[in-house]
């Protein structure tokens, strides 16, 4: 092994890398929110909705979960323009990621809703709690507690998964890496550095979610 | 020159799906070997081994698969001194990646077996290896099959990222077909349909096996 590693050219690009990190984080946060909204609506439709709606949501979940994210992204970015819908790379990324996460969170939230036995709700009503109180104390809080671990690890997977948007040239951290690669020809070095950054982001997210879990559910 | 998207293109996509399955199979075998080692390390009575196994899992799962693909694609030539083909790089990267996930799944299955089973083995005078082989593993395998099949679906979908280092599988073939026909919507719907046809039966199988396992208990 007589390769000479050279990281100097990469340190020169720190500002550019920071921009990439910000885009990755922005994509992650926006997708977390839209995925949560889609997932909550989807789960509600699956559990409480009419038959036809429940079936449609189930089909959506199966189609998304059994096809790769990159193909979904290509369909939104390259496929939709032929239907007259032209999107820039960031919008297409947010839509594809949101639809993707929505399917996974629908399943997770549905499991949380189904984990609350009907008898618990009835017990709450018997104790004289109002409908809103029952929903808040008997359904919502325990359900969030059930889904929190699965949902938070899904969020970390999402953050790592956003790297795929580099393939349609959305300016995220991974795309920044490929531009720096073509500028400096330090291919191994840049991908090693960027991988390290993702690892740090993933660990930070895990620690953050663990801290929130401790604050919210620690007393019980 | 742009030509029409025709039946022959679907045929080519189906042929390319073979390489998706071939890469999945290689990654599953390689990942399985890594996974067994990781799972055993994670349940071993020796603390440094447990910590090493946990570190491997955390590092692999904390970096995007795209990162691993590029690190191996550009890193292996530095290590080996020769250019490696995308086959070699993809197989090694996917095995390395799958090993962490399979290791975690299988560790969970080993730990799902009640501690008393280990103790019963110890009481019969079996060593750690013998307890594993005769008592724990035969029970854990039954628990392990449904999530392992489920992970296979993840693996099939993830091989689509092999396209970025020039590995010609289903997604890459889709990109090439699109470049020739410029019918992106049709092409990627066809690609998605082929993935669905490969993944959906496995998802259903995994679900059915899991239900049967739950009933059996």
Task: Tell me whether residue A1 is in a domain.
Answer: no
B97-B103-B106-B108 Cα dihedral, nearest 10 degrees: -110
Output phi, psi for A53, to 5 deg: -70, -45
Interface test with A, best of B23, B60, B64 (most A CBs within 10 A): B64
DSSP A81-122: GGGT----HHHHHHHHHHHHHHHHHHHHHHHHHHTS-HHHHH
Q: How many domains does chain B have?
A: 1
Do B98 and B155 meet the contact criterion of CB atoms below 8 Å apart?
yes
Does residue B208 sit within a domain? yes
Each residue's pLDDT tens digit, B85-117: 889 999 999 999 999 999 999 999 999 999 999
Per-residue pLDDT of chain A in tens (220 residues, 90 and over written 9): 667 788 888 888 899 999 999 999 999 999 999 999 999 999 999 988 899 999 999 999 999 999 999 999 999 999 999 888 899 999 999 999 999 999 999 999 999 988 888 898 889 889 988 888 888 888 888 888 889 999 999 999 999 999 999 999 999 999 999 999 999 888 899 999 999 999 999 999 999 999 999 998 876 5
Contact A192 B192 (CB under 8 A): no
Do residues A80 and A86 lie in contact, with contact meaning Cβ atoms separated by under 8 Å?
A: yes
Residue given tokens 């990324």 in the structure block: A93
| Domain membership flag for residue A8 | no
The answer to whether residue A70 sits within a structural domain is yes
CA distance B93 to B23: 11
* Residue B15 lies in domain: 7-216
Q: How far apart are CA A25 and CA B9, in angstroms?
A: 38
Distance CA A155, CA A146 (A): 15
d(CA A10, CA A190): 7
A6 closest CA partner among A192, A186, A185: A186
Can you spell out the DSSP letters for B79-123? HHSS---HHHHHHHHHHHHHHHHHHHHHHHHHHHS-HHHHHHHHH
> Is B111 among the domain residues?
yes
**At residue A115, what are phi and psi to the nearest 5 degrees?**
-75, -15
In the structure encoding, which two tokens stand for residue B108, read together? Answer: 């969970």
- Is B2 domain-assigned? no
**Does residue B196 fall inside a structural domain?**
yes
CATH of the domain at B138: 1.10.3720.10
How many domains is chain A built from?
A: 1
| Structural domain includes residue A121 | yes
Q: What is the DSSP string of A33-67?
A: HHHHHHHHHHHHHHHHS-HHHHHHHHHHHHHHHTS
Domain containing A187 — which CATH number? 1.10.3720.10
Residue A143 lies inside a defined structural domain of this protein: yes
In chain B, what residues touch A65 (CB-CB under 8 Å)? Answer: 153, 203
Helix (H, G, I), strand (E, B) or coil at B103: helix
Q: Which pLDDT tens digit goes with each residue over B15-35? A: 999 999 999 999 999 999 999
Q: Which residues of A touch B (CB under 8 A)?
A: 1, 3, 62-63, 65-72, 74-75, 78-83, 156, 160-161, 163-164, 166-167, 174, 177, 187-188, 191-192, 194-195, 198-199, 202-203
Residue ranges making up the domain that contains A57 = 13-217
In a domain, A66, yes or no: yes
Residue A107 lies in a domain: yes
Identify whether A7 is part of a domain: no
For residue B1, is it within any domain?
Answer: no
């Amino acid at each position: 092994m007589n390769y000479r590693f050279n990281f100097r050219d990469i340190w020169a690009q720190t500002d550019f890398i920071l921009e990439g990190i910000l885009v990755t984080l922005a994509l992650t946060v926006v997708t977390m929110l839209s995925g949560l909204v889609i997932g909550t609506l989807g789960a509600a439709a699956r559990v409480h909705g009419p038959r036809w709606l429940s079936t449609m949501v189930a089909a959506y979940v199966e189609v998304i979960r059994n096809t790769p994210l990159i193909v979904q992204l290509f369909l939104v970015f390259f496929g939709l323009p032929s239907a007259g819908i032209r999107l820039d790379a960031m919008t297409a990324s947010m839509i594809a990621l949101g639809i993707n996460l929505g399917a996974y969170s629908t399943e997770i939230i549905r499991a949380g809703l189904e984990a609350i036995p009907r008898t618990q709700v009835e017990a709450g009503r018997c104790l004289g709690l109002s409908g809103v109180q029952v929903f808040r104390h008997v359904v919502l809080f325990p359900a969030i507690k059930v889904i929190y671990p699965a949902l938070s690890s899904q969020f970390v997977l999402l953050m790592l998964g956003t790297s795929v948007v580099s393939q349609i040239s959305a300016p995220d951290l991974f795309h920044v890496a490929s531009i720096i690669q073509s500028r400096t020809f330090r291919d191994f070095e840049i991908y090693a550095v960027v991988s390290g950054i993702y690892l740090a982001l993933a660990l930070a997210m895990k620690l953050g979610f663990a801290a929130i879990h401790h604050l919210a559910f620690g007393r019980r | 020159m742009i030509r029409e998207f025709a039946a022959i293109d679907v045929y080519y996509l189906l042929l390319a799906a073979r390489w998706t399955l071939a890469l999945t199979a290689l990654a599953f075998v390689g990942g399985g070997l890594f996974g067994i080692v990781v799972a055993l390390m994670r349940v071993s009575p020796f603390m440094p081994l447990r910590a090493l196994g946990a570190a491997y899992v955390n590092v692999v799962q904390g970096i995007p698969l795209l990162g691993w693909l590029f690190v191996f694609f550009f890193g292996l030539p530095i290590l080996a001194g020769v250019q490696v083909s995308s086959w070699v790089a993809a197989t090694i990267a996917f095995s390395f990646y799958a090993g962490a996930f399979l290791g975690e799944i299988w560790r969970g299955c080993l730990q799902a077996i009640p501690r008393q089973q280990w103790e019963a083995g110890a009481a019969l005078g079996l060593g750690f290896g013998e307890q594993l082989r005769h008592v724990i593993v035969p029970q854990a395998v039954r628990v392990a099959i449904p999530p392992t099949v489920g992970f296979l679906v993840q693996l099939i979908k993830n091989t689509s990222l092999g396209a970025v280092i020039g590995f010609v599988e289903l997604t890459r073939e889709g990109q090439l077909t699109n470049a020739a026909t410029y019918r992106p919507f049709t092409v990627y719907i066809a690609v998605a349909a082929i993935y669905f046809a490969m993944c959906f039966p496995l998802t259903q199988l995994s679900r059915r096996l899991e239900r049967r396992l739950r009933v059996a208990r």
